[in-house]
Each structure stands twice: as structure tokens, then as C-alpha cells.
Amino acid sequence: MFRNSKVSVVVPAYNEEATIGTVVADFKGSPFPDEILVVDNNCTDRTAALAAEAGARVVRESAPGYGCALRAGLDAASGDMLVLVEADGSFKAGDLEKLLVYLPDCAMVMGTRTTRQMVEQGANMRGSLRWGNVVMAKILELLWYVPHEPRLTDVGCTYRALWRKTWGQIRGGLRERGPQFSPEMICEAYRHGLRVIEIPVHYHRRLGGVSKHSASFSKVARTALKMFRTIVRKRLGIA
């Protein structure tokens, strides 16, 4: 609970048995979450069982993809404030209060991993990934400058908070299944005239596993191209 608002934390997961228990325990140790939902996105390991053992509510989503998993978790969440976070331990509950503090002033609070002083050594934020997110953010800024004048540096950061009402407003316009779902959420918020704030969050080394979307330069490039197409599509109003 945060200022009389119920808080739900949504964690999309695909084969994260090495990390999920620690992530759930970290957020359960925070005084703010009322529920933690782990979305089992076709896991073939013990992710779902370990998440439940750690105290999370497990939601199953058979449609594969990061965006599909997040949609399922957000739909199933019961909180007034909805928080998205990764299953690999790269984000910590210590930053949760920051997101919630800013949420009463806007519709959605975005985290950014591009503040170098807050990126842990060994975290998956090397130059190509960091600058790829910055470039996509600046393209989004340019395309949506009128009338919103956005200030963004990271379009791919999962760690974010939004109101349930915000989710209801943007839900119908979201179709992406992969990592481009992240910038699509931002664009859809702007399309509805909603206020979005970005704040720096700590970005830690993965506790285990390998990123599905940014493990190599080629994957980063492909993800950036998909994000670019999504941002342009949303600005042009193409369904």
C-alpha cells in the first residue's frame, strides 16, 4: 500500500528459475507491494513453482513474447498502482518508492538506465545498448514534441509505474508482442494526452541467464529497428 493506493508488481518471466525467487523475495521485503504477479510465459523450467513458493501469484500466458506477458500481468493485477519489473534481478525494490512518489503527478513514471553513475559494473548496459535507447528516445521526443515536449533518455526500460486508469486508457491501442511494447506504451500514453515522467533508476548486473533481446550487437540492432518502426507507426496513427 502506498498512500492508500494498492500496489501490484508485475514480473514477466520466461525460464528464470535461477533468479525469480530472489526477485520476488526482494519486492516482498518492500513495505509497498500488496501483490506480486509473475507471468509464466511458457516456461519449461521451475520458474512458476519457485515464484509461487516465494509468495508470488502466478499468471500463465501462452502467447509468447515480452509484450504478451506484460499485457497478461497488467490485466490480472488488482492494484491501483501497477509496477513493471524484470525477472533477472537487474532492478531492485529499493527504487520502487521513487516511482510511486512521482506517480500522483502523472499518468506513468518511466525509469531510465542511462545515468552512468547508477549502472552497476557488469550490468548489461554497454555502449551500443545505452546509446541505442538514447537515440530511440530522442526520435520519440522529436516525433511527439508537439504538443507534449517529452524528455526521455530510455525507451526500453521495463521498470515503470502507471495507474490502473492509465492502463485502461492505453490498453486498446497496444498490439506489440516483443520488446517494442515498451516504447509503444509511451507513445500510446502521449496519443491520449497523458503526462509521462522519467526518473533515473539503478541498473544492476543480472543475477543469472542471458538477455533475450540484447545479448549481442545484432540483437540490439534488430530490437532498435523494431522500436523505431513502432514509434513511427504510432505517430502516424497506423493501427
State the average pLDDT over residues 34-38.
98
What pLDDT is attached to residue 128?
67
Least confident residue range of 8-17, 95-104, 110-119, 122-131: 122-131
Domain locations along the chain: 7-236
What pLDDT is attached to residue 208?
66
In single-letter form, the type of residue at position 227 comes to: M
Superfamily, domain 7-236: Spore Coat Polysaccharide Biosynthesis Protein SpsA; Chain A (3.90.550.10)
Own/partner long-range contacts of 149-153 (Cβ < 8 Å, ≥24 apart): 150/186, 150/190, 150/196, 151/198, 152/110, 152/112, 152/186, 152/196, 152/198, 153/112, 153/114, 153/198
Q: For residue range 149-195, what is the model confidence (pLDDT) as tens digits?
A: 999 999 999 999 999 999 999 999 999 999 999 999 999 999 999 99
Q: For residue range 69-90, what is the model confidence (pLDDT) as tens digits?
A: 999 999 999 999 999 999 999 9
Question: Residues 194-211, buried b or exposed e (16+ Cβ, 10 A)?
Answer: bebbbbbbbbbebbebeb
